[in-house]
Structure 1
Amino acid sequence: MDWASILEPSLPVAELVVRGSVLFLGLTFILRLTGQRESGALALTDLLVIVLLAEAVSHAFAPDSTSVTDGLILVVTILAWSVVLDALAYKFPSVRKILKPSKRPLIENGQLNKRLMRREFMSRQEIEAQLRLQGIENLDQVKYAFMEPNGMISAFRKNGGEADPTPQPPAS
């Protein structure tokens, strides 16, 4: 077994850090532009996109790399940037607005926010389905509903109560 080929970096450490940084920050920016809905809970197609993105950029991280150390340097770089961006968003509200989505009004007094729906590519049927999962049968029952940073919808009834936070099975 050739320990040197396994443990010695096949590329300069600085190049690995730059590659990892550029790709992580670039993908973070691109994914931030896709909207809140895309950043929420993972569906099967979302998981597929992540796997394909990982495969698509893997060779850009370290072309022809066979060293375990190369992989570890890239992992540390990506994790470091993740922590740095989270810390910046936590400490500086102006940075948070750029890096992290905020809640956005989706329904006000039973009226849909068409602009947000277009931005997030949401149909009325999709919104109604999410509301039904929270025990709301009609848009007229909704005082406010928000698209949350995780892509989920939170709703508040006109009668002052919050919608059921957990999906309820239909009554038979």
Structure 2
Amino acid sequence: MTDWGSVFRPDTPLLEIVARGSVMYLSLFVLLRVILKRESGTTGVTNLLVIVLLADAAQNGMADDYRSVTDGVLLVAVIIGWSYLLDVLAYWWPAAARVIRPNSLVLVQDGRILRRNLRREFITDEELHSELREQGIADLSEVREVRMEPDGQFSVIPAGGDKPRKKSRRGPAG
């Protein structure tokens, strides 16, 4: 017979669940923001992080890795809470927004490659030219500006045009 009390009674200290969820969320957020910005594609890093952590946290609560549903629900709430709090901070505090939602990075300006910015994101000349060719740009002289957006996409503003073209990143070439 099922002991319904153990299903809902937490078997892990609640503060420990909050601490573990907070440390994991914030650690992964920083690592993904710093390291995988370019590979994130069209799904924002924060959204990807929340999905992965929620899936794991929910799985733990449902698969009896926790003995209590309350443990899993609390961990899911902590993860959603951090995501919400970071969005609120970015909205109301410009200094936090620069860290949480970094600006786009100019890679090409007036047909000239900004090598320092390419190195900063580990983008090779071949990767840049490949992105331009996929958008129908054969020569850098045809480009006013190329930016890598915060979500890893490339935006291209052709020379003599104001309408940007946007192409999603699919990850590193290989």
**Is the TM value for this pair above 0.5?**
yes
Deviation of the 1:65 alpha carbon: 2.4
- Per the alignment, residue 8 of structure 1 pairs with 9
Change (3 A) 1:73 1:40: same
Q: Secondary structure in 1 aligned to 2:78?
A: helix
Change (3 A) 1:86 1:18: same
- Per the alignment, residue 86 of structure 2 pairs with 85
Structure 1 Cα separation of the partners of residues 118 and 165 of structure 2? 22
Change (3 A) 1:136 1:162: farther
Deviation of the 1:41 alpha carbon: 3.1
Provide Cα deviations, 1:10-64, integer angstroms capped at 9, x if missing partner: 111111111111111121122222153133336xxxx9xx96xx87xx99xxxx5
- Per the alignment, residue 170 of structure 1 pairs with none
- Contact (CA 8 Å) 1:37, 1:150: kept in 2 or not? yes
- Contact (CA 8 Å) 1:135, 1:163: kept in 2 or not? no
The two structures, once aligned, show a CA RMSD in angstroms of 2.7
Q: Secondary structure in 2 aligned to 1:76?
A: helix
Deviation of the 1:6 alpha carbon: 2.1
Q: Which runs of 5+ in 2 are unaligned?
A: 169-174
Q: Secondary structure in 1 aligned to 2:16?
A: helix
Matched, 1:153 2:151: no
User: How many residues align structurally?
Assistant: 154
Q: Secondary structure in 2 aligned to 1:159?
A: coil
Q: One-letter code of the match for 1:91?
A: W
Deviation of the 1:66 alpha carbon: 2.7
Q: Which runs of 5+ in 1 are unaligned?
A: 168-172
- Per the alignment, residue 32 of structure 2 pairs with 31
